[in-house]
């Protein structure tokens, strides 16, 4: 049976008729028959991809294919060591990617775990406890406080029933349930005559007829939408794929040109020609790139873990750094997820309540001065009412206060404790709260009286009250003027997004020990308490940082529009011209209309899971890199659809955590800012490495061509080129990826999703000018040595040494692509300095060994070689630093 039918708009009798059931429930035999028809009440697992297929998928990108081709070529020319190095790097990257993806797709398993293991049903007119998997449409389920609801059901009886639906709808306060008929277009969050699988009963009891089980429940729809959502490649993955294709084309072009030159100019033997062309092609391949990228991201994961953020998918760290839009859940993410009394009103006196959450620390202030409770009789009675007409319990565990019971009642108890009211009065009578009555009354012995405390909706309590108590304790009759003043205060609070609870009292003789509804009249009105789920204090500065970083933030919540707007204003999220929209209004927009206005919307209220997916997809169509934070089951599809999903570790459901790429262990929105900074730092370091690698490799490719034009011999042998690659593309590059982030990273605008890895200025300065100057310098140095009659072996040795020293210098200079090198302390990246020194020492040591000299076809390195190298080093230093200065001027950036 599908939940697509509008069960909430049908009379109970019609529901019974359509499901062929009754208040006595199904027979055991009929329940078994329906179990065969509808299947077990559980969510089907998505078909898993085999581990072998997952592993093979890791090799389906141009760069990896290029590296594998380079491995084959290396083996063909006898360079076994180089081939082994390349294949080890490729396998390491593939295994790490396989491990990450193998663990990533577990959202449906988590959804299954959320199902209640048992359910109470009525069968053959008798209450029975059965496995939740055996619940079928038409079953009558019995609900009581603490139950996890096993299936979607239309309510047929309720007694003070309240259900926590935050995990499904995002609504922060428990929902009062009733049995009345609702309008057809009533949003999911307002279907008060329905209960849904996965939610929990927090108060009262009730009965319902099951209308949907398994994948037909609202929870099941989310499971299906998770299967439909495809995970897209991150901006970095797309850019590296493109780079791999470019390098593949470059390698073919280089090999072709060199082959033609070698054949017709150098008159090389075919075997030597093949070896030379292959060596140049291998030199063009960045074999260390996958491990550099993976290593950079892994380091980012480690750093984020120390900052309370657990990254489940490596590319998410870089993607967050590219984020242009954050869609954030309100409840528990931007707010504390804890109701708090923030204001109170006693006749003509407004009181501010400080402190947030369930920790009973705060003050009651009137005109910024502490309120003297003993001198305010009305407030004292209101606080006694809040403390005793209350079923919530506050428990202190490991220095943390937690609530057991209704969040509103918990907030009222904390309110009383902040004022020092903790007198627990014996409860001798009670009239429970119900959604129809909208009030709750309790009777207690107090002094020489028995006192009845009443709390509930302001309009109801006011209607039942005939007098009002002043702070002095004096009573006045409530006339029309006083009534209007009270309702004005109530409306003013409501417009601020506050939830209002009114309080009243009635005194009886001590012999009175039973109360009935008819006793709830002629009450003495005490005042109003106004509650809100308060914003997290650290969110405001985090939002300011996002604003400076050029990242837009939208609040998405299941709460009421007024509440959401109030929180948004407190956080400074709403500016002039920003739009606030509800789920009902969103449904009236087609996809094109939503795309056209989505960037102006800052608050989405009363939204459903389908709405969240539409929002994320609309933003992505506007070319935004979207991060989605959330904690509920309802967030899972959007978390998976977003470029990077961020789940809450404390309040988040297992479904959200499994669907997300990142989990915040401290549920702290501010932690995201750290992730953004780290993501930008990682991407910047990857860019530095690529520029370092490509500028050097381009020079290695161009130098033989320039030498050809000048009629010179081959400047590098095949083995020399491979040695240069081995020494310079490994450890120095990895060390360069550890460079700390620059101070202005969060002041820069986000990188556009489809923008190239390098800017035009960077290409001209670092990938054209620098390699060109280096190529010309090396070629002229080589020509000068040959013209002086120096043997080719010694000339190549000087050129070989110069090339290695230049690349080590480049690694140091490219620690920043903007800032002059003298502004960067060497101690900022001790690893790089150590690696450069060790590389230089190892280079000297290895090349002093005769067997190595013979293998590389070089002579012993002399001081004269270093002197000549210094000229080239000086030219490269000036070229790189000048390029940085020109880029700074062109971009008109200010650097601290």
Give the DSSP letter of residue 389. Answer: S
Neighbouring CB atoms inside 10 A of 623's CB total: 10
* Cα–Cα distance measured from residue 520 to residue 529, given in angstroms and rounded to the nearest whole number: 20
Tokens linked to 762: 């960077």
Tokens linked to 127: 């209450």
- Is 20 a residue of the active site? no
Tokens linked to 355: 């402190």
> How would you write 479-509 as a 3-class SS string?
CHHHHHHHHHHHHHHHHCCCEEEEEEEEEEC
What does each C-alpha distance from 599 to 465, 626, 669 come to in angstroms?
A: 49, 12, 21
Tokens linked to 348: 């003509």
* Cα–Cα distance measured from residue 453 to residue 440, given in angstroms and rounded to the nearest whole number: 8
The DSSP string of 777-834 is: HHHHHHHHHHHTT--HHHHHHHHHHHHHHHHHHHHHHTT-SSS-GGGS-GGGGHHHHH
* Cα–Cα distance measured from residue 842 to residue 850, given in angstroms and rounded to the nearest whole number: 15
Taking alpha carbons only, the member of 804, 783, 782, 800 closest to residue 853 is: 800
Contacts 24+ apart (CB under 8 A), 610-618: 610/225, 611/583, 611/586, 611/587, 612/327, 612/556, 612/637, 612/638, 613/225, 613/229, 613/637, 613/638, 613/641, 614/586, 615/327, 615/554, 615/556, 615/586, 616/327, 616/641, 616/642, 617/641, 618/591, 618/594
Q: Which residues contact 715 (CB under 8 A, 6 or more apart)?
A: 703, 704, 707, 778, 779, 782, 796, 799
Using the structure block, give the residue that is written with the tokens 């038409």. Answer: 138
* Cα–Cα distance measured from residue 95 to residue 314, given in angstroms and rounded to the nearest whole number: 13
Q: What is the dihedral of CA 101, 104, 108, 112, to 10 degrees?
A: 120
Using the structure block, give the residue that is written with the tokens 């209309």. Answer: 593
Catalytic one of 329, 533, 729, 865? 329
Q: Which residues pair with 561 in a beta bridge?
A: none
495 burial type by CB count under 10 A (0-12 exposed, 13-18 middle, 19+ buried): exposed
* Cα–Cα distance measured from residue 708 to residue 703, given in angstroms and rounded to the nearest whole number: 9
**Angle, in degrees to the nearest 10, between helices 718-728 and 80-104:** 40
Neighbouring CB atoms inside 10 A of 11's CB total: 12
Taking alpha carbons only, the member of 750, 703, 714, 738 closest to residue 811 is: 738
Taking alpha carbons only, the member of 622, 645, 754, 757 closest to residue 691 is: 757
User: Are 523 and 504 in contact, with CB atoms under 8 Å apart?
Assistant: yes
* Cα–Cα distance measured from residue 856 to residue 511, given in angstroms and rounded to the nearest whole number: 108
Which residues are catalytic, by number? Answer: 329
């Amino acid at each position: 049976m599908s939940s697509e039918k509008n069960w909430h708009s049908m009379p109970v009798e019609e529901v019974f008729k359509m499901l062929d059931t009754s208040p006595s429930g199904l027979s055991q035999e009929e329940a078994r028959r329906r179990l065969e028809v509808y299947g077990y009440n559980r969510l089907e697992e998505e078909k898993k991809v085999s581990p072998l297929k997952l592993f093979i998928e890791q090799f389906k990108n141009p760069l990896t294919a290029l590296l594998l081709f380079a491995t084959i070529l290396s083996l063909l020319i006898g360079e076994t060591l180089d081939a082994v190095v390349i294949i080890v790097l490729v396998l390491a990257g593939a295994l790490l990617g396989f491990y990450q993806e193998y663990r990533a797709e577990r959202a449906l398993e988590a959804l299954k775990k959320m199902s209640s293991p048992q359910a109470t049903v009525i069968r053959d007119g008798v209450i029975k406890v059965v496995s939740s998997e055996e619940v079928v449409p038409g079953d009558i389920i019995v609900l009581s406080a603490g139950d996890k609801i096993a299936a979607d059901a239309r309510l047929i009886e309720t007694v003070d029933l309240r259900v926590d639906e935050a995990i499904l709808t995002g609504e922060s306060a428990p929902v009062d349930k009733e049995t009345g008929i609702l309008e057809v277009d009533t949003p999911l969050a307002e279907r008060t005559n329905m209960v849904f699988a996965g939610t929990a009963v927090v108060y009262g009891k009730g009965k319902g007829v099951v209308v949907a089980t398994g994948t037909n429940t609202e929870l099941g729809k989310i499971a299906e939408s998770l299967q439909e959502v495809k995970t897209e490649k991150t901006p970095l993955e797309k850019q590296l794929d493109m780079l791999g294709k470019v390098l593949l084309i470059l390698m073919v072009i280089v090999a072709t040109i060199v082959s033609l030159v070698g054949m017709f100019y150098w008159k090389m033997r075919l075997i030597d020609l093949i070896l030379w062309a292959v060596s140049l092609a291998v030199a063009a391949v960045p074999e260390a790139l996958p491990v550099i990228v993976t290593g950079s991201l892994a380091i980012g994961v480690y750093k984020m873990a120390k900052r309370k953020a657990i990254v489940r998918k490596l590319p998410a760290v870089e993607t967050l750094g590219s984020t242009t839009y954050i869609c954030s859940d309100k409840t528990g993410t931007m707010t504390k997820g804890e109701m708090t009394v923030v204001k109170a009103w006693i006749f003509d006196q407004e009181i501010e309540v400080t402190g947030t959450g369930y920790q009973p620390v705060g003050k009651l202030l009137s005109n910024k001065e502490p309120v003297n409770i003993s001198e305010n009789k009305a407030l004292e009675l209101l606080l006694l009412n809040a403390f005793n007409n209350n079923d919530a319990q506050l428990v202190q565990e490991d220095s943390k206060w937690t609530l057991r019971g209704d969040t509103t009642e918990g907030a009222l108890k904390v309110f009383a404790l902040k004022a020092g009211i903790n007198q627990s009065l014996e409860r001798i009578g009670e009239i429970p709260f119900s959604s129809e009555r909208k009030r709750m009354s309790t009777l207690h012995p107090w002094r020489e009286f028995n006192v009845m405390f009443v709390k509930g909706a302001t309009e109801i309590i006011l209607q039942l009250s005939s007098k009002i108590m002043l702070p002095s304790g004096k009573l006045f009759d409530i006339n029309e003027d006083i009534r209007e003043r009270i309702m004005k205060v109530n409306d003013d609070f409501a417009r601020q997004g506050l939830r209002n609870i009114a309080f009243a009292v009635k005194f009886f003789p001590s012999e009175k020990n039973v109360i009935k509804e008819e006793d709830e009249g002629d009450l003495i009105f005490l005042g109003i308490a106004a509650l809100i789920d308060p914003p997290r204090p650290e969110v405001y500065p985090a939002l300011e940082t996002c604003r400076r970083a050029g990242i837009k933030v939208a609040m998405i919540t299941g709460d009421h529009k007024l509440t959401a707007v109030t929180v948004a204003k407190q956080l400074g999220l709403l500016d002039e011209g920003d739009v606030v929209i509800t789920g009902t209004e969103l449904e009236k927009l087609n996809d094109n209309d939503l795309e056209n206005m989505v960037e102006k919307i800052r608050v989405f209220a009363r939204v459903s899971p389908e709405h969240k997916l539409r929002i994320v997809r609309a933003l992505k169509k506007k070319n935004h890199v979207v991060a989605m934070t959330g904690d509920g089951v309802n967030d899972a599809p959007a978390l998976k659809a977003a470029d990077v999903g961020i789940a809450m570790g404390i309040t988040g459901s297992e479904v959200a955590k499994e669907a997300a790429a990142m989990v915040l262990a401290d549920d702290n929105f501010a932690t995201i800012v750290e992730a953004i900074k780290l993501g930008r730092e990682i991407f910047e370091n990857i860019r530095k490495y690529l520029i370092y690698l490509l500028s050097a490799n381009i020079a290695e490719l161009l130098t033989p061509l320039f030498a050809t034009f000048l009629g010179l011999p081959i400047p590098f042998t095949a083995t020399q080129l491979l040695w240069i690659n081995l020494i310079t593309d490994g450890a120095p590059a990895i060390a360069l990826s550890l460079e700390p982030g620059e101070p202005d990273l969060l002041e820069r605008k986000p990188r556009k999703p489809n923008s190239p890895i390098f800017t035009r200025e960077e290409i001209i300065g670092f990938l054209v000018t620098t390699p060109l100057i280096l190529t010309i310098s090396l070629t002229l140095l080589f020509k000068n040595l040959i013209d002086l009659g120096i043997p080719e072996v010694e000339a190549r040795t000087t050129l070989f040494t110069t090339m290695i020293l230049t690349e080590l210098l480049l690694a140091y200079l490219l620690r920043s692509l903007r800032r002059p090198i003298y502004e960067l302390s060497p101690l900022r990246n001790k690893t790089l300095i150590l690696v450069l020194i060790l590389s230089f020492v190892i280079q000297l040591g290895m090349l002093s060994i005769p067997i190595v000299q013979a293998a590389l076809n070089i002579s012993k390195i002399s001081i004269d070689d270093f002197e000549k190298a210094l000229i080239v080093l000086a030219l490269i230093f000036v070229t790189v630093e000048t390029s940085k200065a020109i880029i700074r001027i062109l971009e008109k950036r200010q650097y601290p």
